[in-house]
Amino acid sequence: MSRVSFRLKAEATGSHLSWGLCGLLACAVPTPADAQPPIQHLRIIAPAAPGGGWDQTARVMQQVLQRTNLVHTSSVENIPGAAGTIGLARFVTAERGNGDVLMASGLIMLGAIVTHRSPLTLHDVTPVARLTGEYEVLVVPAASPVRSLAELVRALQTQPEAVSWGGGSAGGTDQILAGLIADSVGVDPRRVNYIAFSGGGESMSAILGGQVTVGVNGLGEFAAQIEAGTVRVLGISSRERISGLDAPTLREQGIDVELENWRSVVAPPGVAGPDRQRLERTIDAMVRSRDWHDALARYRWNDRYLAGDGFARFVDAEEARVQGILRKLGTGRNPSVSLAGAGLYPMLVLLGLAVTAVATTAAAVRSIRPERADDRASRRARWSSIALVASGIVLDLLLVERAGFVLASTALFWCTARAFDTKHPVRDLAIGLMVSFAAYVVFARLLELPLPRGVLARWI
């Protein structure tokens, strides 16, 4: 019985029209002893593009919550940008007070808030719980001349710039670990030659190919390589050795550094007490389920569940630590490598743009010919056509988040059509409405990419 209802729900995910149906089914399913009704539709925001750690966390939560009937339906929305700070800003402003939405967050967001000088911090949201943790590993290719952590440290102490560290984005967990290690062996973190790569694939290929001296990355990303013996682990950032993994910790090799890339969930600011308790209870039930523990094992995540005030205190401590090390790192500026600096290339590009723009304008001015009378007439017609399309664009921009996507697009369509056609205003309006509605259904319903519903919210 419950199996069947799950299948139906999975297919109806995100389809608001089907909620009623799901609600009916839920009545047939035995409800938990809890008196308060479960959340109807839980939205989980991943402040990153599909594929990364936060996206995975959000999607695992979605699966587990639905499988265990803790929520009726659930959807994941990606709001990528600037290591989570764009998602954070949107979450704080657009979701204030909403009791049915959560956002994935974590250590990397703390780093990004410092690096990108975000005006909003994790103090601006309602903490719910820390969920998982992932250790970091230092790896070299199997054929690397660097045999041990001691050798790496010796090289680092002799000439820090000669040791290149490959890892993820600047200011992220990987660079933080590199900085912490340098700091603990008496090397100025500012002199760490950290090479930031944009994606997991890019840094992994540079590390496997021996392009950098040493790689810093999450354990999960390198698990398959470690198992296959293509890389050697110099050290892992955990307190104790991990069972089943032949890797020494940093601590046992005399480097007093521990780091775990933790991930958490937060609720919007201003959530009412009962709503907040319901969210906390839902997450609490989720982390106790079998499905959740199966998922943790699959992704090689550590169970780091910590809720309530404990979590809030933990965030404060981590914030202080991250700010401290990032200040010491000086956000990656490397004064010894001037040619590789950030200033030269933009100057060349802007110079090139200025020169070509001036030259093109000069050439165009030379070729101007005197205007004839019929040119003037056609110019008026041109500008009236352009003005029509432009007014459609302005209407679209003004209306889309106020009156909703469908009405804004209809206005855009109608104005554009008017620029090309003077005879069929009613036909154009009707077709514009149809096209806009069809686009809304395809994007918002079938593809789960929410569009503003606006004044039609009650009907669509």
Partner 1 sequence: MDTLQALARGFAGALTLPHLGWALGGVTLGTAVGVLPGIGPALTVAVLLPVTFSLDPTSAFIMFGGIYYGAMYGGSTTSILINSPGETASVVTAIDGYEMARQGRGAAALTTAAIGSFVAGTLATIALTFFAPLVASVSLKFGPAEYFGLTIVAFTTVAALLGSSVLRGLLSLFLGLALGLIGIDQLTGDARFSFGVPQLLDGIDVMVLVIGLFAVGETLYQAWRHGRDDLQVITLHDFTGMSREEWRRSWKPWLRGALIGFPLGVLPCGGSVLPTFVSYLVEKRLSDHPERFGHGAIEGVAGPEAANNAAAAGVLVPLLTLGLPSSATAAVMLTAFQQYGLQPGPLLFSTRPDLVWTLIASLYIGNAMLLVLNLPLAGVWARVMLVPRPLLFGGILVLASVGAYSLNRSMVDLLLLYAVGAIGCAMRVHDVPLVPAVIGLILGPLSEQQGRRALAIAGGDPSVFVTRPICATLLVLAAAVLFGPRIFRLKAEATGISA
Nearer to partner 1, 106 or 332 (CB): 332
Nearer to partner 1, 24 or 359 (CB): 359
- Position of tokens 């809720």? 307
Question: Helices 373-399 and 405-420 meet at what angle, rounded to 10?
Answer: 170
Shortest Å distance, C-beta 454 to partner 1: 13
Nearer to partner 1, 76 or 102 (CB): 76
**Environment class of 334 (CB within 10 Å of its CB; exposed 0-12, middle 13-18, buried 19+):** middle
Nearer to partner 1, 345 or 459 (CB): 345
Nearer to partner 1, 71 or 307 (CB): 71
DSSP-derived 3-state class of residue 426: helix
**Environment class of 391 (CB within 10 Å of its CB; exposed 0-12, middle 13-18, buried 19+):** middle
Distance CA 433, CA 431 (A): 5
Shortest Å distance, C-beta 69 to partner 1: 15
**Tokens standing for residue 133:** 């943790």
DSSP-derived 3-state class of residue 102: strand
Helix (H) or strand (E) holding 97, with range, is: none
Q: What are residue 218's phi and psi, to 5 degrees?
A: -65, 145
Which residues touch 308 (CB under 8 Å, ≥6 apart)? Answer: 127, 129, 280
Nearer to partner 1, 272 or 447 (CB): 447
Distance CA 363, CA 445 (A): 51
Q: How many CB atoms lie within 10 A of CB 247?
A: 18
Contact 283, 146 (CB under 8 A): no
Amino acid at 186: G
Nearer to partner 1, 276 or 300 (CB): 300
Query: Phi-psi bin for 244: left (phi > 0), alpha (psi -120 to 50), beta?
Result: left
Strand partners, 68: none
**Tokens standing for residue 294:** 């199966």
**Environment class of 274 (CB within 10 Å of its CB; exposed 0-12, middle 13-18, buried 19+):** exposed
Which residues touch 312 (CB under 8 Å, ≥6 apart)? Answer: 127
Nearer to partner 1, 198 or 277 (CB): 198
Nearer to partner 1, 103 or 400 (CB): 400
Q: Give ∠ CA 161-166-171 in degrees, rounded to 5.
A: 90
Q: Give ∠ CA 250-122-182 in degrees, rounded to 5.
A: 25
Nearer to partner 1, 290 or 424 (CB): 424
Nearer to partner 1, 82 or 312 (CB): 82
Contact 101, 95 (CB under 8 A): yes
Helix (H) or strand (E) holding 151, with range, is: helix 149-158
